[in-house]
Structure 1
Amino acid sequence: MDLFKQLSKKTLLEITSIAWPMAFNAVLLQSVTIIDLLLVASLGDVSVAAYGVAGAIVAFVLGVQFAIANGTQLVLSRAVGAGDIHKIGLEVASGWVANIGFSITAVILLFFFSEPLVNFIAHDDGVASQAVSYIYASLYLLLFSSVSQVIVVYFNASKKTRTPLYGFLLEIPLNVVCSAALIHGLWGAPELGLAGAAWGSVIAICIRFIYLAYQFNQEKVRGFVAGFSVVNLMSVKAHMDEVIPIVANFVVLLTGQMLFQALFAQLPVSSYAAITLIMPWIKIGSLFVNSWAQSSTIMVSQFIGRANFKDIPPFVLQSKLIATLMSLVMVIGFYLFSLSVPYLYPKLSLETITALAVIAPCYFFVPLFRTNNMFCGNMIRAMGESYLIVRINIVSLWMISLPLCALLVYINAPLMMIFGITIFDEIIKFYPFRKTLMNKLNTYKVSE
């Protein structure tokens, strides 16, 4: 009850003002994938399969870009908190070197090796051919994205999250229109099929990049950022020290999720269909909590930049309370979703509906544990202890949960037990995450 009494309306409004554009951005990004899939679906099964293969490869590179940018955001937030515009410019430049350097390497590797990689994954010439054409077009997307990501996190770190939101609102309608035109050859555009979806995204992100570059230049003109020219090897190395643990954690989690999907794919069709249907909804629900955690991370990083350590513990505990309340809302939301499944998906088979009902208790309560882990992980990263997150995830996911899931699939265990590994993984991380965060907060209390 004391935490409720101490909740600052001003602080909550400040976090909310940062969080809601970030959450909206994340939902919009998810919607683009769904819209592209709907557009591609009209081309037939081969194109859909090719989109699945190529999209997964491109999404992995984009995810690493995001992880690098996430590290840049933490460092930038501290510089913004300290009010040092030259430090801000130095970290932006270092972030560009890190992100663009990775992206150029990825583009070169994909240019030369995407064809053998796709042929290894897809054992169909038609699927492989379309997937490779999609990847080649997406190489331009990756380059523009790497530069844009750093500008986006600059605005996030500066608590100006509406600026990237306006960029996404500009990009997404263009993406849909251009992709539709280039996929199907509408309005005099060339009919490129699946590759048209990639080129539509390239055109849209170019327009967003121009908008973001203009807005960033305005920040420079107004004197909010400077010091780009002093970037050097030492500053990039210091920047990468922050970034590498975050990228490592992303790779650990993403590859783990891909292996989970591969294991679930061994289940009967109805069971795998049920899991496939519920996963995007779980992810969308997590976006709101993650955006709240990200905005709280920005605030904590700024506290550290101002050397205001005494305010960090009460702020984090209050913010965590709100995240917990959000998880309760998500539990209710997933329960209502389970009741509406027959109406949302009226053409599902009885077996799939039954499978969804069987796994319902698992996805009902995932938010209670995942919210804690997500929030604690973000806070621990903001406090400079990212490597601890990697260690916890390696032990829980790779050493315990994945081997156990493989064993359960092998012995044909009940569906609820197999899917229940997802909540089991979150449960075994709950205490280590919470303990690590509280230990770090206690060091700030001692240093008061």
Structure 2
Amino acid sequence: MFSPHLRDILRLALPASAEAVIQLLFNFLAQLIVASLGATAVAAVGFSNNVTLIAIFTLATLGTGAGILVARARGAGDREAVARTTGTALLLASAVTLALVLVLSVFARPVLGGLGAPAELAETATPFFQVALLGVPLIVLSVVAGSVMRSLEQPRVPMFATLVAAAVNVAVGYALVRGVAGLPRLGLVGAAWGALAGQVLRVVLLGAFLYGPRGLVPWGWSGVGARGRALVGELLHLSLPLAATQLAWSGGNLLYALFLARLGTEVLAGVQISNTLEGIFIVASSGLVPAATALIGQAVGQGDAGLARERARVVERFGLVTGVVFGALFALSALALPALYPAVGAEVRQVALSAILVNAAIQVVKVANLVRGGGILPSGSDTRGVLIGDAVGAFAVGLPLAWGLAFGLGLGVWGVLLARVAEEVAKVLIFAWRAKKLAWPRVIAAQAGVAAASD
């Protein structure tokens, strides 16, 4: 059913999925440390993350662009282009993120206030936010480096670096929050310094694997001439629509949360519980995205349209299997709600149960959108199609329908849940249409032209 390409897919996908699960697990432990400081600390971290996560998700799309171009260069056997693309992507990511962090650091307090933080909460959150901002460039650099390594078929390296960094984050964060082993007791800010320590270590490890004595690539970059402008232009051509997609996705999620909050605290809490549990099962399929990027990109670099098409088809089919399997496991997780959340109340658990069952039923659709929108369409240089699908799905279908069903027809939380189903269905139809339109020979010809301009 899946052809010989399945082994290659699993070899790349399993470490990437394991890395995502590791990150989720340690993030959960870090959240428990913050929760021990009280509700104000939790709210302060939440307000800070509203900004830092949007910045990270948006700027990290440079990693997707770099991964695609490196995979194509590797497929073409052009080691110099691999080095040039890697160095240029890392320098571009550093410049953009450092500029953004500088601005946000200067205006940290007004930014938090603009998000709606009360004066007391903004006072608590500002020191944490300023330290957390220092980690944004490091996280983006790690994402870019990790994408390059997966395209070079070294997925275990970023997995190992993430494991070590996450462990350091929790250990140092706990020590600084509590003042363990003679270290200063810094409270909430200690958690931010712990996260920063982990990110520094991750960048150092990835840098050593990339550029050390036995590194994967020699240092290189494209310069500032015509060749450099051509490479940066191609990176931005692939990355900017994906960045806009991330902004649209983040904005859409915020509006859905506002709708749910209007329906009541219990409704919002119940859906948030469902979303938290769903994340564990969705990331189990997320490794298919870098696998698609690497394998399809290599086929494009080799000039083999048939191989690119076949690998895209196999990744899509395997995504159907993982969507069904992990969707079923997600549905079964509802049985653990009383044990996991005994203190939230029966009404919240009932909302969470409904949300889990609805989202589990369409997880196969969500995974299909993840694979096509995150891997196949960008690998075919159709990042515009990804933006169209996400924007139309959320702002033309999902959000208007959520408002109409939840408040116009009085369906409440069921209106929002059904609207989100309609959004995913709209996206899967658009992504499938765009994927069907991909002309791999044209993609290969365009890549050859970019390569010639960069030489």
2:347 alignment partner in structure 1: 351
Deviation at 1:371, TM superposition (A): 1.6
Structure 2 distance, partners of 1:229, 1:397, is 38
Tell me the CA shift for residue 40 of structure 1. 0.8
- Per-residue Cα deviation, 1:278-297 (whole angstroms, up to 9, x for no partner): 00222222212221132122
Which of 74, 83, 102 is 2:68 aligned to? Answer: 74
Deviations 1:38-76 (A, max 9, x none): 101111111111111012211112212322211211111
Partner SS state of residue 153, structure 2: coil
Residue 437 (structure 2) aligns with: 439
Question: Which residue pairs with 1:159 in the alignment?
Answer: 153
Q: CA separation in 1, counterparts of 2:168 and 2:117?
A: 34
- 2:390 equivalent among 376, 390, 393: 393
Partner of 1:196, secondary structure, is helix
Select which of 418, 428, 452 maps to 1:420.
418
Q: CA 1:333–1:126 in 2, change beyond 3 Å: closer, same or farther?
A: same
For 1:370-389, what aligned pairs fall within 5 Å after superposition? 370-377=366-373, 378-389=375-386
Which residue among 401, 404, 416 is the counterpart of 1:404? 401
Aligned to 1:336: 332
The amino acid of 1:179's aligned partner reads: G
For 1:241 and 1:117, locate their aligned partners in 2 and report how far apart those are by CA, in whole Å.
30
Q: Does 1:251 align with 2:247?
A: yes
1:42 alignment counterpart: 36
Identity %: 20
The equivalent residue for 2:449 is none
Q: Which amino acid aligns with 1:414?
A: G
Alpha-carbon deviation of 1:31?
2.3
| Letter in structure 1 aligned against 2:433 | K
Please say if 1:369 is aligned against 2:368.
no
Question: Does the CA-based 8 Å contact 1:46-1:127 persist in structure 2?
Answer: yes
For residues 200-349 of structure 1, the aligned pairs below 5 Å read 200-218=194-212, 224-228=217-221, 230=223, 232-349=228-345
Compared CA separation, residues 222 and 122, structure 1 to 2 (3 A): closer
1:424 positional shift: 1.3
Equivalences for residues 27-38 of structure 1 within 5 A: 27-38=21-32
For residues 159-187 of structure 1, the C-alpha deviation after alignment (integer angstroms, 9 at most, x for no partner) is 10111111112111111111011112121
1:150 corresponds to: 144
Q: What is the root-mean-square deviation in Å for CA atoms of aligned residues?
A: 2.2
CA distance in 1, matches of 2:223, 2:150: 23
The structural deviation recorded for 1:327 is 1.0
AA in 2 matched with 1:407: G
Q: Which runs of 5+ in 2 are unaligned?
A: 446-455
Task: After TM superposition, give the deviation of residue 404 of structure 1 in Å.
Answer: 2.0
Q: What do residues 336-356 of structure 1 show as CA deviations (whole Å, max 9, x unaligned)?
A: 112232233233312122223
Residue in structure 1 matched with residue 188 of structure 2 by the alignment:
194
Contact 1:86/1:226 (<8 A) preserved: no
Change (3 A) 1:206 1:169: same
Kindly indicate whether residue 11 of structure 2 is the aligned counterpart of residue 14 of structure 1: no
Distance 1:146 1:272, change over 3 A: closer
- Structure 2 CA distance for aligned equivalents of residues 363 and 146 of structure 1: 30
Distance in 1, matches of 2:156 and 2:188, equals 32
CA–CA distance in structure 2, aligned partners of residues 56 and 33 of structure 1? 16
Residue 223 and residue 36 in structure 1: after superposition, are their counterparts in 2 closer, same or farther (change >3 A)? Answer: closer
After superposition, the Cα gap between the structure-2 partners of 1:406 and 1:93, relative to the gap in structure 1 and judged at 3 Å, is: same
Task: Give yes or no for contact 2:64–2:147 (8 Å, CA) kept in 1.
Answer: yes
Equivalent residues in 2 for 1:75-94, closer than 5 Å: 75-94=69-88
Please state how far the C-alpha of 1:335 moved relative to its aligned partner.
2.2
Decide whether aligned partners of structure 1 residues 150 and 368 sit closer, same or farther in structure 2, where only a CA change above 3 A counts: closer
- 1:222/1:164 CA distance change after superposition, 3 Å: closer
**Kept in 2: contact 1:249–1:393 (CA 8 A):** yes
Task: Number of aligned residue pairs: give it.
Answer: 440
Q: Per the alignment, do residues 319 and 145 of structure 1 end up closer, same or farther by CA in structure 2, a change over 3 Å counting?
A: closer
Q: Distance in 2 between matches of 1:224 and 1:69?
A: 16
Contact 1:89 1:226 in 2 (8 A): yes
Relative to 1, partners in 2 of residues 1:347 and 1:406: Cα closer, same or farther, differing over 3 Å? same
Conserved? CA contact 2:73–2:79, under 8 Å = yes
Distance in 1, Cα, partners of 2:352 & 2:338: 10
Q: Deviations over 1:194-231 (max 9, x none)?
A: 1111111111221222222211123x756744543646
Match of 2:427 among 418, 426, 429: 429
- Contact 1:182–1:189 (CA under 8 A) maintained in structure 2: yes
- Checking the alignment, whether the CA contact within 8 Å between 1:94 and 1:236 is kept in structure 2 is yes
- More displaced 10-residue stretch of structure 1: 388-397 or 171-180: 388-397
